[in-house]
Amino acid sequence: MALYEFATDLDTPVHPVSAPDYMPVEQLRALQLHRLQATVKRVYENVPLTRRRMDERGVKPEHIKTLKDIALLPFMKKVDLRDEYPLGLLASPMNEIVRFHCSSGTTGKPIVLANTENDIHVWQQATMRALAMFGLRSSDILQVSYGYGLFTGGLGLHYGGEGLGCAVLPTSGGNTDRQLMLMKDLGVTAIACTPSYFLHLIDEGLKKGIDFKKEMKLKHGIFGAEPWTGEMREMMENVTGLCAHDIYGLTEISGPGVAGDCPYRCGLHVFEDHFYPEVIDPDTLEPLPDGEAGELVFTTLDRTGMPMLRYRTRDLTRIIPGTCKCGRTMRRIERVSARSDDMLIIRGVNVFPSQIEAGLLSIESVLPHYHIVVDRQGDLDTLEVKVEVTQETFSDDIKSLEALRKRISQAIQRIININAKITLVEPHTLPRSQGKIQRVTDLRKKQ
């Protein structure tokens, strides 16, 4: 792979771990097909649910002769993992399982993912490639402020960072004062956490009078696990001076490290030698060509503990056609800024929280802390957006606040075509999060 020692049009040397990112496309497709065929065979022989569904379609493992034949396979959804809880989707004997991870069970039983030693290795390698693509090297100090334990975020970035040779600081979430102290005293150069928690760190640091650009050595922020907008990225970079990177993953597929953005920021490269992406029409379930937006679907190509065939993520995106300037041959997906599960239907209009966020952050004096409240009065849906503004702004006269409220309302209405009630609140009034933040309260569900 000496041919790819340096990325196209970049002066930064490519880390050796990134060599698979530049695999010739023909070789990549052959590898994907080989791994897909092996995975389908493993699942068919070991997972009764998938075998039954394939039999109902008249599909056998030997029918998968090309990558396009993946469309013959049935989909998997989160409800399947809950229905088959805890180990109904296991495709390896228990003596080969070395670790479990679980996602939240707030809406019922949690989903359980069983990992073999192979799965952990694949996951670590993918995360290492993401970190290397972001520009991290063995000289970096990586503070991992994702939650550890059942959640995949903490351990995923921890092992990826250690594999790359970084010095890892496993702070997990919470204890913000200590997080800031260690970040400063140890000279942390990279932080990994949810974007909402990093906003909280910024918020608390500014309250303490910390100048992030002068007093911290942060160069990289690795953010994921929740949708965040380009406006949010710009704000974080302006305040702290770091480069904010988008890392994508989900527990059902492995965890963080499924995809990430390169320095050109023209989409997230999927490490598709391990995770095969499709985009489908969420209504017809038909595959869509590259460039068309729909629901993201993943198939794990070499996962052995609990392989996923055509798992519907509910994330909305598109596969970006063409090649990237960085030279990577791995396909790109557009940044995921919305999930179909997060969509609100208000007065018959489809509304995503990220749209409201984009409107808010386009207004000067507005802080990136907000909460959306949806209610119903009689037969009419109502939308209220509570948003923090700077202390100087909140101290202004009533006339100035009313003018700001009007500007915010107009900015949101231009995007979603709905008139929202805007409630301006003082800084540090709205709840903060040490993990994934809840931006919406839908009171209609309680009526």
Instruction: List, in order of start, the domains of the chain with CATH numbers.
Output: 1-342 (3.40.50.12780), 343-446 (3.30.300.30)
Pairing state between β 190-193 and 220-223: parallel
Burial class (CB in 10 A: 0-12, 13-18, 19+), 251: buried
Of 115, 59, 42, 109, the closest CA to residue 81 belongs to 109
Mean pLDDT by 10 residues, the chain (447 residues): 34 78 96 98 98 98 98 96 95 98 71 96 97 96 94 95 98 93 98 92 94 97 90 94 96 95 96 98 95 97 98 95 94 86 78 87 89 86 92 82 92 90 92 79 78
How many whole angstroms separate alpha carbon 46 and alpha carbon 89? 8
C-alpha 249/C-alpha 256 separation (Å) is 4
pLDDT at position 13: 60
Res 398: pLDDT: 83
Pairwise CA distance, residues 296 & 211, whole Å? 40
**Side-chain half-sphere exposure of 229, counting CA atoms within 13 A:** 15
Could you tell me which of 91, 119, 115 has the C-alpha nearest to residue 102? Answer: 115
In angstroms, the Cα distances linking 2 to 9, 137, 329 are 16, 19, 16
Left (φ > 0), alpha (ψ -120 to 50) or beta: where does 350 sit? Answer: beta
- 84: amino acid identity, one letter: E
β-pair type (344-346, 332-333):
unpaired
β partners of residue 380? 377
What is the DSSP pairing of strand 243-250 with strand 220-223? Answer: parallel
Radius of gyration (C-alpha) of the chain in whole angstroms = 23
